A and B are shown apart, each in its own frame.
Chain A
């Protein structure tokens, strides 16, 4: 399986479906079929990469430094499959709910293309191009709906993330000036011999760009209004798929291309991660609106990934990968579940809540366990205590939402689960599927742990 096929399929589908009217059911289902095929292709690709090793093609049949390299290694294939799976679940949810506009299926397919492109590329500038494609699609999706609140949130989203993108572009210009190459492996090799102060500056540019994307503490201001006012399916896509770009960028550009700078900046990463966790958790506890609580929770969870990166080493990087996967699934599940009403929806929400807090038998338990292991390896009592405190606070605010939205009856005596129209079984299916995956990974964590380990080792292999 060549890495080019899962990239070209959603791109062609997006261009073709943009010509048709997206409000018709057939067009929506064709888009869902395209997403599902891309997901299947990426799972096959990930399977091949995990068993046989990385796959690489060079566009135009040139040598790797001259042509653009498309490289599927364990980390990229894993993230691509995860993100497209999340997109598929959220898109099917929105499709079954109905009421989307003419261009919605095409936009989601363009988002899918951008994500697959940036996870599967081995060229720094190509990463920037697909990064911009992803972000433009998500700016439009976030502002979809057109009323004042969405538009304001979309504008803030666009301006802040554009600043991050242009800082990334400055970093790319600096990389080309210092190394003379754009291909990731060559850049990693040449940066090791380059002047240290220039490389630190490049590392700072990349860190700020991906920190803005992920919603880390000093760069998080755009996140709550955007996640709170977007439609639930779009919020699930943004938090479960687009946020992965930030984690992947930190892992690829930090641990892979600039490992010495990552070790150098470990202290800063730990401090910012701690600040993110505490800030996100405390703000989430104090909010009343469900989507705002989930948005601040997203800020907190990003802090855990940063702490795992700060700890570093194979254990720390594996923990970062595992935690990103778990967080992506959690956020998708939670954002989709708060939009539904009906039988067993509360149970799905509880699964997500337990996973965020790190309670077995959910996947979140193994995410927190990997973090605890990394913290104990580091020998730091403070980190272990912090992770524990963060987990306890997440349990508090998740329970608050559950009580408010699913348990306590309102003034007229109806329990919340009966308020509003019941969602059809078909509409509840994507949410139940994601909940089932979270529980399955919690009971049989082997695939998750193997995936994390393989992906972390792929990073070490490239740099050394």
Chain B
């Protein structure tokens, strides 16, 4: 890939991840969602794949573990769904309940829906990266490059 694309990819990684995190964080009260955040973050990593190729991008341990993190995200989402059952409320009841003030981190409210969004973000990111990894490996196999 040309020098321009590689330079831009290196520069854009952090800002795109920042945008994804912003979309995730404002999701419970504004336009945004765990799914959209996961899609944007996986776009950032896809850009790295295109610019630098599969082996160099996957040298980071974190990226190699992310497809498995999809199922960790699914399990956390199920745990958050089932957590109210312990105190007798039905599934997916909002924590904290209506009328109580949640814990604030600056202007960010730490509520159950936010944790659920993070779990969905992990799920989508892991799933998309799994697909990208499989396609990249298959493309290399077809071109005759030895997978390392």
Complex: A in contact with B (CB within 8 Å): yes
When distances are taken between beta carbons in the complex, the residues of chain B under 8 Å from A15 are 71, 74-75, 78
Which among B68, B90, B92, B93 has the highest number of chain A CB atoms within 10 Å?
Answer: B90
| B82 at the A interface (CB under 8 A) | yes
Question: Using Cβ atoms and an 8 Å threshold, which residues of chain A touch B90?
Answer: 2, 4, 57-61, 67
- The reply to whether B71 and A59 contact each other, CB–CB distance below 8 Å, is no
Asked whether A4 lies within 8 Å of B71 as measured between CB atoms, the reply is no
Q: CA of A70 to CA of B75 in the docked complex: distance in angstroms?
A: 21
Which residue in A5, A12, A59 is a CB contact (below 8 Å) of B75?
A: A12
Verify if B81 is at the interface (C-beta below 8 Å from A).
yes
Q: Which residues of A contact B74 (CB under 8 A)?
A: 15
Q: How far is the CB of A132 from chain B (nearest CB, A)?
A: 15
Q: Does A173 contact B (CB under 8 A)?
A: no
Q: CB distance A60 to B92 under 8 Å?
A: yes
Residues of B in contact with A (beta carbons under 8 Å apart):
68, 71-72, 74-75, 78-79, 81-82, 85, 89-94
**Alpha-carbon distance between A57 and B92 when the two chains are bound, in angstroms:** 11
Asked whether B93 lies within 8 Å of A18 as measured between CB atoms, the reply is no
B67 to chain A, nearest CB (A): 10
Is B68's CB under 8 angstroms from A19's CB? yes
Q: Which residues of B contact A59 (CB under 8 A)?
A: 90-92
A15 to B91, CA, bound (A): 18
A16 interface residue per 8 A CB criterion? yes
- Whether the Cβ atoms of A8 and B81 lie closer than 8 Å is yes
Residues of B within 8 A of A5 (CB): 85
- How far, in whole Å, are A2 and B90 apart by their CA atoms in the complex? 9
- Which residue from chain B places its CB closest to the CB of A8 in the assembled complex? B82
- The CA of A191 and the CA of B16, in the complex, are separated in Å by 47
Is B75 in contact with A60, judged by CB distance below 8 angstroms?
no
Q: Across the interface, do A60 and B78 meet the contact criterion of CB distance under 8 Å? A: no
Chain B positions within 8 Å of A253 at CB level: none
Closest Cβ neighbor of B93 among chain A residues: A61
Q: Are B81 and A61 touching (Cβ within 8 A)?
A: no
Q: Known interface pairs A2-B85, A16-B71, A19-B71. Does A11 touch B91 (Cβ–Cβ under 8 Å)?
A: no
| Complexed CA–CA distance, A326 and B68 (Å) | 41
A to B CB contacts below 8 Å, 22 in the list: A4-B82, A4-B85, A4-B90, A5-B85, A8-B78, A8-B81, A8-B82, A11-B78, A12-B79, A12-B82, A16-B71, A18-B71, A19-B68, A57-B91, A58-B90, A59-B92, A60-B92, A60-B93, A60-B94, A61-B89, A61-B93, A70-B91
- Report the minimum CB–CB distance from A126 to chain B (whole Å): 12
Q: How many whole Å from B94's CB to the nearest CB in chain A?
A: 7
Sorted from nearest, which 5 A-B pairs have the closest CB atoms? A15-B74, A59-B92, A59-B91, A15-B75, A60-B92
Minimum CB–CB distance from B32 to chain A (whole Å) comes to 20
Apart from A15-B74, A59-B90, A59-B91: 5 A-B pairs, beta carbons within 8 A: A2-B85, A4-B90, A19-B71, A58-B90, A61-B93
- List the B side residues contacting A16 at CB < 8 Å: 71, 75
Q: Could you tell me the distance in whole angstroms from the C-beta of A110 to the nearest C-beta in chain B?
A: 10
- Interface contact B78-A12, CB-CB below 8 Å: yes
Which residues 20-77 of A sit at the B interface, judged by CB distance below 8 A?
57-61, 67, 70
Q: Which residues of chain B are within 8 angstroms of A58 by Cβ–Cβ distance?
A: 90
A contact residues around B91 at 8 Å (CB)? 4, 57, 59-60, 70
A11 to B94, CA, bound (A): 21
Q: How far is the CA of A15 from the CA of B81 in the complex (A)?
A: 14
Q: How far is the CB of A38 from chain B (nearest CB, A)?
A: 14
> Contacts of B93 on A, CB cut-off 8 Å?
60-61
CB distance from A164 to the nearest CB of B (A): 24
Bound state CA distance, A60 and B75, in angstroms? 19
A11 / chain B contacts, CB cutoff of 8 Å: 78
Give the distance to chain A from B124, nearest Cβ to Cβ, in Å. Answer: 14
**Which residues of B have CB within 8 Å of A12?**
75, 78-79, 82
CA–CA, A12 and B72, complex, Å: 10
Task: Report the nearest B residue to A106, measured CB to CB.
Answer: B71
Q: How far is the CB of B117 from chain A (nearest CB, A)?
A: 15
Chain B: which residue is nearest A11 at the CB level? B78
A458 to B93 alpha-carbon distance, docked (Å): 29
Residues of A within 8 A of B92 (CB): 59-60
Inter-chain CA distance A61–B85, complex, in Å, is 11
Q: How far is the CA of A58 from the CA of B91 in the complex (A)?
A: 8
Residues of B within 8 A of A67 (CB): 90
Complex interface: chain A residues within 8 A of B78 (CB) = 8, 11-12, 15
A427 to chain B, nearest CB (A): 30
CB under 8 Å from chain B, chain A span 83-129: none
Residues of A within 8 A of B71 (CB): 15-16, 18-19
Instruction: Give complex CA distance A5, B91 in Å.
Output: 10
